[in-house]
Structure 1
Amino acid sequence: MMRRALAVTALTSTLALAAAAAAQDSPDPIKLTLHDWTGQLITTTIMGEVLKEAGNNVEYVQADYLAQFAGLKTGDLDVAMEIWETTGREAMDEATATGQVENLGETGMQAIEEWWYPSYMTDKCPGLPAWEALLEDECAEAFSTPETAPDGRYLGGPVTWGGFDEERIEALDLPFQVIHAGTDAALFAELESAYQRKAPILLWIYAPHWAPIKYEGEWIEFPPYEPACYTDPSWGVNPDMTHDCGKPRGPIWKVAWSGVKDKWPGAYAAIQNFTLSNDEMGEMIAKVDLEGGTVDAVVAEWMDANKDRWSGWIGK
C-alpha cells in the first residue's frame, strides 16, 4: 500500500509539473508593435519592460498603425498596445471578427481625436466651435494659406493614421483642404510655431496629450458620431454621403494575435491587467516632447515609481 501511495504521489507530482511547464510562457520573443507617436511608444515600452521583468523575451517591431492588423492575423506580430476607438475601431472589428486577433480590453485611457483650433481664432471665425462656421467664406479665408487659398487649410495627422478627414470635408462640403503632417513631431512643431505667432491654424489634436492642456483652444463640434454615419449615406445632414459627422470617442484598446493566450499565458494576463490614465500619459508625453526626455528614461522613471502596481500585473 505504501508503494502504491508513493507511486500515486509521484504520478500526481509529475502531472502537476507537466501542467506547470505547459502553462509557462514560450521563450520566443513577444513582438510588440511601435508606431509614430510618443504616447504609443511610451505605452508599448512600459508593457515591454514589465514583460521583461516577468522573464519574457520581448522584441519591438516598427509597424504601420492600420496595416499592422495583417501581421497580427498571421502571428508575425503579436501585440498592439494602442488601438484608438476614434480611428482604429473599424480595422480592429474586422480583424477580431476573423478570430485571428483578440481584443484584450481597454488600456484605461480615453481617446479624443478631432479638429482643433486655438482660441485666438474665434474673433476671425465667428460661430466657432460649431462646424457650420467653417462653411463661411470669411472663416475659410481666415484659416487659409498661400498653398490652399481661397480654401482653408486643415493640418491632418500622418496619412497612416487614417481618420477620414478628406471624406468628412467632401460630405459636409467644407471649403478646406487637408495637408498631412509628415510625423507626429512635425504636427506639434507647427502648432507651437503658429501659437507663438498667433498665426491661423486648424489641425488634428488628440488626447491623451499635453497639447490641449498647454494651449488654450477648442475642438470643432461636428454632428455627433454614430456608427451609421460611416456606413449609411442616408444618415446625417448629407443624405448622399457617409462620414458627415465627428469622429468617435472612447477607449484606447489592446489587441493581440489570438495565439498569444496559449503561447504566452503569463504575458497574456499581464497585458489584460495593464492600465494607465489620461493624466499619467499626458504627463509622460510632456516629459518627452517638451522637456527633452527620452522614452526609455521616462518609462524607467515610471517603473521605479509604480513597482507595486506593475508587479501586480504580472502576479509578483
Structure 2
Amino acid sequence: MARTRIVALAAAAALTAGAALTGCGAADMTRQSSPYADAAGSRTVTLSVQSWVGAQANVAVARYLLEHELSYRVDTVQIDEVPAWDALSQGRVDAILEDWGHPEQEERYIEGKGTIARGGDLGVTGHIGWFVPTYFAKEHPDVTDWKNLDKYADEFATPESGGKGQLLDGSPAYVTNDKALVKNLDLDFQVVFAGSEAAQITQIKQFAKEKKPFLSYWYEPQWLFEKVPMTEVKLPPYKEGCDADPEKVACAYPHTPLQKFFNARFAEDGGEAAAFLKKFRWTKEMQNEVSLMIAEEKLAPEEAAARWVKDNRATWQSWLPKDQPTG
C-alpha cells in the first residue's frame, strides 16, 4: 500500500480468509479484461479491488448499492496498486475506490495523459506506521521511541530475521519505505514479509495469543486494532518531501486522506454510477464495521454489505442521485 503504501497500505496482499474480493498486494490481473469495462452506453461498472480488507469493504458496499439500488451490473478485478492505474487509464476498470497516494501515477495519467480523473475523498484518512503490542509497550514504555528499538532487537528476533530483530511486513507488493528506514536509521532489524495481509494478521494474532513481543508495519484504518491493541512507535517526524527519494527515506509515514480515481471517460459519461461513486464517502468506523464482518465474522462481502446497508440507510441515501428512489 505507498501506502507510500505510500504504503503503502495498501491498501497489497492475498485475500483475507473468507473474502471473495481483495491493505495491498494481489495477483497482477491487469491483463484480464472485465466484460463490463468501458462498456459505453450500458449500465455496467467495473471496480478495481485491492487486496486489503478495507478496500474490500468499500467495493462490497458500493457494488451492493449499484446493483440493488441503481440496477447496474458490476464486475470486480483484483489488481496490485500500481498496475491498477494502468488498467484504469486503459479503461479496463472504471474506478479505484481507495488509493493511498501515488504522485507519480497522478502526474502521468491525470496531468499528463488526461486518461484518469479524480473522484474525490473516500472520507477516510490512512496512516502507516510501525506498531508494537500495547501489552509490551506498557511494560517497556521507551520502546515507542525508534531510538530505543535496538535495545529490544533480541526480543523481536525470529528464526526468519537472521539474528536481527524482526520488522514484520505484509505483502512484498506493498509500496513501503521499511527497508530504507531500517537501513537509514541504522537499526539492527530485518524486514520479513508475511506474504499477505491475511498471513500478517494470522502471525500478529498468534504473537498476541502467546503474549510475545513483535514489531510490525501496520496501518489505520484496520479492524485488527479492535482485537489486538497496538501502540505506534514514533519515527522521525514526517515533513513534506522527506520521502521524495525512496532510497534516502528516514522519516515517518504521512497521514493520507484516501482518494478515489476514475477512468476519465467513465467520470464524464458514467451516468448515475459515476455520480454515485463520486458521492460515496464514509468514515473509518463504517469501513471497519464492514471489514470486521468480512475478515473476522467470515461473512461473504455481499452479505456484509447487505447487513451494513440495512442498518445505515440515512448514510447511503445521500450518495444516490437525487431523483433516484430507494428500495
2:145 corresponds to: 130
Amino acid at match of 2:54: G
Describe the shift of the 1:252–1:218 C-alpha distance in structure 2 as closer, same or farther (beyond 3 A). same
Q: How does 1:236-315 map to 2 (within 5 A)?
A: 242-315=248-321
Distance 1:124 1:143 in 2: 15
Taking a change above 3 Å as real, the CA distance of residues 41 and 219 of structure 1, as seen in their structure-2 partners, is: same
How far the C-alpha of 1:38 sits from its partner, in A, is 1.5
The match for 2:95 is: 79
SS at match of 2:72: coil
For residue 109 of structure 1, give the secondary structure of its aligned residue in structure 2: strand
Q: Secondary structure at the match of 2:222?
A: coil
- Aligned in 2, Cα 1:290/1:45: closer, same or farther, shift over 3 Å? closer
Aligned residues: 281
Instruction: Report the alpha carbon displacement of residue 188 of structure 1 after superposing the two structures with TM.
Output: 0.7
Task: Indicate the residue corresponding to 2:86 in structure 1.
Answer: 70
Give the counterpart letter for 2:188 in structure 1: P
Flag structure 1 segments of 5+ consecutive residues without an equivalent: 1-24, 234-240
Which SS does the other structure have where 2:243 is aligned? helix
C-alpha deviation, 1:28, in angstroms: 5.7
Q: Which amino acid aligns with 1:81?
A: L
Correspondent of 1:174 among 166, 187, 208:
187
Q: Which residue among 202, 212, 228 is the counterpart of 1:189?
A: 202
Deviation, 1:156, is 0.6
SS across alignment from 1:122: helix
Q: Any idea what the Cα deviations from partners look like across 1:215-235, whole Å, max 9, x if unmatched?
A: 2321111122223212269xx
RMSD, matched Cα = 2.1
Please say if 1:96 is aligned against 2:102. no
Q: 1:223 maps to which residue?
A: 236
After superposition, residues 47-66 of structure 1 pair within 5 angstroms as 47-52=62-67, 53-66=69-82
Q: Distance in 2 between matches of 1:170 and 1:95?
A: 32
After TM superposition, give the deviation of residue 110 of structure 1 in Å. Answer: 1.3
Residue of structure 2 equivalent to 1:11:
none
Q: Structure 1 residue 107: deviation in Å?
A: 0.8
Deviations 1:174-205 (A, max 9, x none): 21111112121111111110001011211122
Indicate whether 1:148 and 2:164 are aligned. no
CA shift for structure 1 position 120:
3.1
Give TM-score scaled by structure 1 length.
0.82
- Pair member with larger Rg: 1
- Greater displacement, 46-55 / 297-306: 46-55
Q: Write 1 or 2 for the structure with the bigger share of helix.
A: 1
C-alpha separation in 2, matches of 1:112 and 1:292: 25
Residue type of the partner of 1:284?
V
SS in 2 for 1:276: coil
CA–CA distance in structure 1, aligned partners of residues 202 and 142 of structure 2: 27
Query: 1:237 — aligned with what?
Result: none
Query: CA separation in 2, counterparts of 1:32 and 1:47?
Result: 9
* Counterpart-to-counterpart distance in 2, 1:48 and 1:188: 26
* Aligned-partner Cα distance in 2 for 1:132–1:220: 10
